Amino acid sequence: MTYMPPLWPVSVKGVALDGRDRVLLLKNERDEWELPGGRLEIGSADGAVPTDASPEAALEREIQEETGWEVEAGPLIGGGTWIYQPIPGRRVLIVTYGCAVLTPDRPPVVSHEHKQLGMFAADEVSGLNMPDGYKQAIAAWFGRRHADPSDLDDSERM
């Protein structure tokens, strides 16, 4: 019998802020708030479903599908890569990017994938029902956005 190592599902997530400096969150079927995003598409053999060119491209596609917002995926967020166990025995690797919203004045819409959409100020996030990994990534992105620009490297300036 040959050994088959377990495979980890990977989900790319994005911290996206509107023009009023509020983070976009979606409520899932477990009544938890989460960041928009999802899995990378491997594509279909017939080419009807294209393969995502990169994790960033997958994130940009996912946010557009879930909310109608156009974004540019930016840098990985420090502390934003973590392992989540949404249900017992199921683990998912979460990889979180900061995003520049290209359509900040367009109201986001909730897709069929989620129950609700919400916009939250930085000080509201800690009281929400959501995994700590998301809260940490959001806090880190808010902190970066309000940091002195001279403290950021080129990949962090968005």
Per-residue pLDDT tens digits for 9-62:
999 999 999 989 999 999 999 999 999 999 988 888 887 888 888 999 999 999
Q: Which long-range contacts (CB under 8 A, 24 or more apart) does 36-44 make?
A: 36/62, 36/63, 36/66, 36/67, 37/11, 37/12, 37/13, 37/62, 37/63, 37/66, 38/11, 38/12, 38/62, 38/66, 39/9, 39/10, 39/11, 39/12, 40/10, 40/12
List, in sequence order, the alpha helices (H) in 25-84: 55-67
Per-residue pLDDT tens digits for 56-105:
999 999 999 999 999 999 999 998 899 999 888 889 999 999 999 999 88
Per-residue pLDDT tens digits for 100-153:
999 988 899 999 889 999 999 999 999 999 999 999 999 999 998 766 555 445
The CA-CA-CA angle for residues 137, 139, 145, to 5°, reads: 100
Tell me the C-alpha distance between 112 and 123, whole Å: 28
Q: Is the pTM of this model over 0.75?
A: yes
Q: Provide CATH code, domain 10-148.
A: 3.90.79.10
Domain residue ranges in the chain = 10-148
pLDDT at 2: 85
pLDDT at 11: 95
